[in-house]
């Protein structure tokens, strides 16, 4: 490997650090399970840490009003691989409050399968209960 090249492990570390410091919440899901969340996602969902969100089912945080449309959206994302931008979404924070955010959803390939990356930004005015 040339001296200026970066190894896969180093690249993963750099990318992971970059994703963690994003100002927008990032959640990566495999069907109904959170595989990755960054610090901004933990703040958005009022979790102790981003690691506390890993393994949580989306059905635990997605508001019931959003579950059917969300399921259809996930299916469209994984099958058609189209991006869905600026979708208003209601989720339950870990403290039980309801947070409304604009969400961009993008299918990405990870370990040979299609997963969905959700980037969320809270609406002006923050959360409601």
Residue-wise pLDDT tens for the chain (129 aa)? 444 554 656 656 667 777 777 788 999 888 789 998 999 999 999 999 999 999 999 889 988 877 666 666 776 777 777 777 888 888 999 999 999 988 888 888 877 888 888 899 887 544 444
- Number of domains forming the structure of the chain: 1
- CA max distance for the chain: 55
Specify if 115 maps to a domain. yes
CA 50 to CA 40: how far, in whole Å?
8
pTM of the model: 0.76
Query: What's residue 122's pLDDT?
Result: 83
Query: What's residue 1's pLDDT?
Result: 44
Specify if 44 maps to a domain. yes
Specify if 29 maps to a domain. yes
């Amino acid at each position: 490997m040339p001296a200026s090249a970066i190894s896969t492990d180093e690249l993963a570390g750099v990318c992971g650090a970059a994703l963690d410091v994003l100002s927008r919440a990032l959640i990566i899901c495999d069907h109904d399970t959170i595989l990755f969340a960054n610090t901004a996602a933990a703040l958005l969902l009022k979790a102790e840490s981003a690691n506390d969100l890993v393994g949580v089912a989306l059905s635990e945080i997605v508001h019931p009003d959003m579950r059917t449309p969300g399921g259809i959206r996930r299916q469209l994302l994984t099958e058609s691989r189209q991006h869905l931008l600026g979708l208003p979404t209601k989720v339950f924070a870990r403290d039980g409050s309801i947070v409304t955010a604009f969400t961009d959803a993008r299918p990405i390939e990870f370990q040979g399968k299609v997963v969905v990356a959700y980037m969320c930004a809270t609406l002006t005015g923050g959360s409601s209960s």
